[in-house]
C-alpha cells in the first residue's frame, strides 16, 4: 500500500509569508496527487489535482509541483483565509495533514 507523509505537521506563519508543504509518497505515483484545504467544521476543498493543476475558482497564489515521490504545495502570499489544515491525497490514501496557523 502507498503511504503519504506530509511535512511539516504544523506550521506557524504570518500574513504575506510564502509557505511550502511537502508530501512524500512511499513509492512512485507519477502525477496522481491532489491537495485539499479544510477549515473547521467544513468538508475539504479541492485545491490542486494531477499534482499541479489548479482547480477552477482557486486563487492563483496556490500552486503545486512534483512528480514521482515528492510533491509540494506552495502558497505564495498567505492571506487570512488561508489558515486551515491541508491534506495531500494519492488516488485514495491521504496524508496526515498539515495545520497552518497564524504566527
> Which of 99, 92, 89, 74 has the alpha carbon at shortest distance from 17?
74
| Three-point CA angle 41, 43, 46, nearest 5° | 140
Q: What's the min distance (Å) between Cβ of 82 and another protein?
A: 19
Binds another protein (CB under 8 A): choice among 16, 60, 81, 92: 92
Complex with another protein: residue 17 or 68, whichever CB lies closer: 68
Residue 43 CA neighbour count, 13 Å, CB half: 2
Q: Contact with another protein (CB under 8 A): which of 23, 33, 73, 78?
A: 33
- 8 preceded by a cis bond (ω within 30 of 0): yes
Instruction: Tell me the window of 17-25, 41-49, 65-73, 74-82 that interacts with another protein (CB under 8 A).
Output: 41-49
Where along the sequence are the contacts to another protein (CB under 8 A)? 1, 32-34, 36, 38, 43-46, 48-50, 55, 87, 89-97
Amino acid at each position: 500500500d502507498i503511504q503519504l507523509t506530509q511535512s511539516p505537521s504544523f506550521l506557524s506563519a504570518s500574513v504575506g509569508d510564502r509557505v511550502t508543504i511537502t508530501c512524500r509518497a512511499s513509492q512512485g505515483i507519477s502525477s496522481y496527487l491532489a491537495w485539499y484545504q479544510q477549515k473547521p467544521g467544513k468538508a475539504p476543498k479541492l485545491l490542486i489535482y494531477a499534482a499541479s493543476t489548479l482547480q477552477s475558482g482557486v486563487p492563483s497564489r496556490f500552486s503545486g509541483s512534483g512528480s514521482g515521490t515528492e510533491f509540494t504545495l506552495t502558497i505564495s502570499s498567505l492571506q487570512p483565509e488561508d489558515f486551515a489544515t491541508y491534506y495531500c491525497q494519492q488516488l485514495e490514501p491521504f496524508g496526515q495533514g498539515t495545520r497552518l496557523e497564524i504566527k
